[in-house]
Amino acid sequence: MMNLIPVFVDYLTIRQAHHEGGLPVINGGRVVRIDSDGEIEYTVDTRQGLEGSFDSRVEVRCDGNQVEFSGNISRYGRQDNLFGFTFSDSIQRINELLNTLGLPPFTSGKLYKFADSGWTWTGARVSRIDITCNYVTGSMVDSEALLRNMAGHHIGRQKGSLAVNGATVEYGRGSKYVYGKLYCKTTELKKHKSRKSGQHVSDEVVDFCQSLGVIREEFTLKSRFLLQNGLAYLGAITDSLLIEVYMNRTQLQRLENVKYENFNDLPANLRATYVSWKYGYPIVLSRTSFYRHRKELLAYGVDISIPNNVQTMPIKVKTIELAALTAPDWYIKKYA
Per-residue pLDDT tens over the stretch 218-231: 999 999 999 999 99
Looking at residue 174, what is its pLDDT? 84
Q: How confident is the model over 52-97, as pLDDT tens digits?
A: 888 888 999 998 999 999 999 999 988 888 999 999 999 999 999 9
Looking at residue 1, what is its pLDDT? 37
311 and 188, same domain (yes or no): no
User: Do residues 297 and 315 touch, judged by C-beta distance below 8 A?
Assistant: no
- Asked if residue 302 belongs to a domain, the reply is yes
- Between 137-146, 267-276, 320-329, the lowest mean confidence (pLDDT) is in 267-276
- Asked if residue 3 belongs to a domain, the reply is no
Residue 262 or residue 296, greater confidence: 296
285 and 171, same domain (yes or no): no
Q: Quote the domain boundaries for residue 55.
A: 8-257+324-335
26 and 87, same domain (yes or no): yes
- Asked if residue 249 belongs to a domain, the reply is yes
163 and 135, same domain (yes or no): yes
Task: Specify the 3-state DSSP secondary structure of 12.
Answer: strand
Q: How confident is the model over 166-223, as pLDDT tens digits?
A: 788 888 888 889 999 999 999 999 988 888 777 888 899 999 999 999 999 999 999 9
189 and 44, same domain (yes or no): yes
> What confidence category does residue 320 fall into, taking pLDDT thresholds of 50, 70 and 90?
confident
267 and 252, same domain (yes or no): no
* CB atoms near residue 194 (< 10 Å): 10
Looking at residue 89, what is its pLDDT? 95
Looking at residue 38, what is its pLDDT? 63
User: Do residues 8 and 131 touch, judged by C-beta distance below 8 A?
Assistant: yes
| Domains held by the chain: number | 2
On the CB side of 125, CA atoms within 13 Å amount to 12
Mean pLDDT of all residues in 234-255 = 87
106 and 122, same domain (yes or no): yes
DSSP state of 174: T
> What confidence category does residue 105 fall into, taking pLDDT thresholds of 50, 70 and 90?
very high
Looking at residue 334, what is its pLDDT? 84
> Which residue, 227, 230, 245, is CA-closest to 155?
245
Looking at residue 149, what is its pLDDT? 77
Find residue 40's DSSP bridge partners: 34
109 and 173, same domain (yes or no): yes
126 and 22, same domain (yes or no): yes
Residue 288 or residue 270, greater confidence: 288
